[in-house]
Amino acid sequence: MYTKKLWIFLEFSEALHISRVDIVRKVSLEGEASDERRLYRVTVSLPLLHKEPGYFILYFCAAFFYPKTANYRKKRLIKKGVMNIMGFKSDIEIAQETTMAPITEIADKAGIDRKYLEQYGNYKAKIDYNLLREKEGEDGKLILVTAINPTPAGEGKTTTSVGLADGMSRLGKKVMVALREPSLGPVFGVKGGAAGGGYAQVVPMEDINLHFTGDFHAIGAANNLLAAMIDNHIFQGNALNIDPRKITWKRCVDMNDRQLRNVVDGLGGKTNGMPREDGYDITVASEIMAVLCLARDITDLKERLSKIIIGYTYGKIAEQKPVTAGDLNAQGAMAALLKDALKPNLVQTLEKTPAIVHGGPFANIAHGCNSVTATKMCLKLADYTITEAGFGADLGAEKFLDIKCRMAGLKPNAVVIVATVRALKYNGGVAKADLNNENLEALEKGMPNLLKHVSNITNVYKLPCVVAINAFPTDTEAELKLVEEKCKELGVNVVLSEVWAKGGEGGIALAEEVIRLCDQPNDFTYAYELEGSIEDKLNEIVQKIYGGSRVVLTANAQKQAKQLEALGFGNCPICMAKTQYSLTDDQTKLGAPTGFEVTVRNLKISAGAGFIVALTGDIMTMPGLPKVPAAERIDVDATGKITGLF
């Protein structure tokens, strides 16, 4: 008898699924319930069977007992198709056990001259942005990784991006992956990390998910310097005639803290400033983040900073004039704080593929997109650049293509749309607890969500794409076949991705298809032209990308649209802020609804970034923490070893 103890999270609703594995002789559960999840020690006694049946049992145990939540779910517990009999390894354990190459070797592999390298210890470094001016040669090909609308069943964009890069590397291609930096907001709040997972990660994992190289601190410092200069200007006589009631600039902090959404400051007497209403955003939702990500170089960075509108002057609406950071002479000091943060960060994957992790607005430009500088640097250094746009093709890819590509002159060669069978069944109405069961009817009902995203990429943007299905042990052959058939009707291939379990080996098939697509010509176009009214552009996004009938502007939004057009911002691209969970502005409407309206309640200009932000529904830029924040499970021992990041 072989006995194996596994520490695992087991959803309360799925605790009785053990009965399905009738070959398991004994299961003892120990532990106490904690809200939605339970932490159990599961003891599985296995008979002395031949190798394959034994692995079969372990495979099933992994399938049923690993977390199925959006935040902790993983595609597999099995490496190379079977579970490691030494025990289950978490993401951070896998990362900590790898032997990283010195960052100088990774730089050599990427073709980065040492003179451009600024090391932060042995395993991470910044790359001087002067490389872009001095490096000669043609740019490589650009591959965008996006996804369907996220669900509690999960997708795996970053994991797919990393695994695809490693798969290409195994095929002998010179490839780099460009990813965004994780924010402490999500890391400490919603999930414990955002650097890929399993055997498709970027490392050093702990550094990347925590302070890294201090980029976000610099962004927060620059943001709050501007806030301090605004309040000081008013305190010192207010020569610019700033109306304290019309200040649009918020402070920021790299942490979800709903208590700071709306505050009143300047209290306590005249020496403490002008009392006024104020508020905070999470750092990654700030305009400074967007500016950093879109800036081409230090000069462009300083120019964009100077254009930031912080508020308006006293007077009637027709008389009000915008006040900028340049009017306050803040741009120089802000740029000085951001000088090093503008330099992309070089790290590596578990398989030593060069990776750049830099920037990444969470709630602005691309919901998880890296900086222009990082993308262009990869294109200059590698034959293939894999980058990511967060959330879905309706939000992440739309912003990447309509904003970032337009501003930076980028043209993708291929797109990967990530999906899971489980997520599609969830879109078809299956409860999270029942997603393990084959359900072709629900899968077919949920398929329109994927097909809409495929159609957006191929028909609206006219780019070739492939659907990458993240493999789960519970996926059945019939379910996978159905997905493949439906996608082929649109002329798009489906590839099974097994990168979480197998690393680059599990991404070779996907890599081969992506390379094939990159060799095809495409007629890349945008979803809308910049000319025309703000409402017209909003309608085009709603109708073409979301599948709705029209946009509805509240009375307040109508006034804001007229004001922005009068100020000369009518030709700016639109950055839609809406729920990522649905194609509509109502997160409960799954699948691919049609004929719906999208309500825009607020329009504001991010003049430094160069786009208009349209707030829809009840979307927030300071979301707040869940009932059980990820921070509760993050810890460090006496030796400095961190646990709980995944």
How would you label 414-435 residue by residue, b for 16+ Cβ within 10 Å and e otherwise?
A: bbbbbbbbbbbbbbbebebeeb
Amino acid identity for residue 117 in this structure: L
DSSP states of 600-629: EEEEEEETTTTEEEEEETT--SS----SS-
Task: State the first-to-last Cα distance of the chain, in angstroms, to the nearest integer.
Answer: 32
CB-based contacts of 222, cutoff 8 Å, min separation 6: 288, 305, 334, 337, 338
Residue 549 structure tokens? 């009938």
Q: Is-contact 163 511, C-beta < 8 A?
A: no
Distance CA 22, CA 476 (A): 19
Distance CA 337, CA 291 (A): 13
Distance CA 303, CA 293 (A): 14
Total Cβ atoms within 10 A of residue 398: 29
What does the pLDDT read at residue 453?
Answer: 97
What does the pLDDT read at residue 88?
Answer: 59
Distance CA 563, CA 255 (A): 33
What parts of the chain have a pLDDT lower than 70?
A: 1-88, 361-368
Query: How far is it between the farthest Cα atoms of the chain?
Result: 84
Total Cβ atoms within 10 A of residue 172: 7
Catalytic residues: 157, 159, 180, 191, 363, 391, 472, 500
Our CA angle for 93, 96, 100, nearest 5°, is 145
Q: Is-contact 382 140, C-beta < 8 A?
A: yes
What does the pLDDT read at residue 49?
Answer: 30
pTM of the shown model: 0.85
What does the pLDDT read at residue 308?
Answer: 97
Distance CA 130, CA 587 (A): 44
Predicted confidence (pLDDT) per residue in 208-239, tens digit:
999 999 999 999 999 999 999 999 999 999 99
Distance CA 339, CA 3 (A): 56
What does the pLDDT read at residue 617?
Answer: 83
What does the pLDDT read at residue 526?
Answer: 98
Q: Exposure of 97 by Cβ count < 10 A (0-12 exposed, 13-18 middle, 19+ buried)?
A: exposed
Which segments within 341-441 are labelled E, that is strand?
A: 345-349, 354-357, 384-388, 414-419
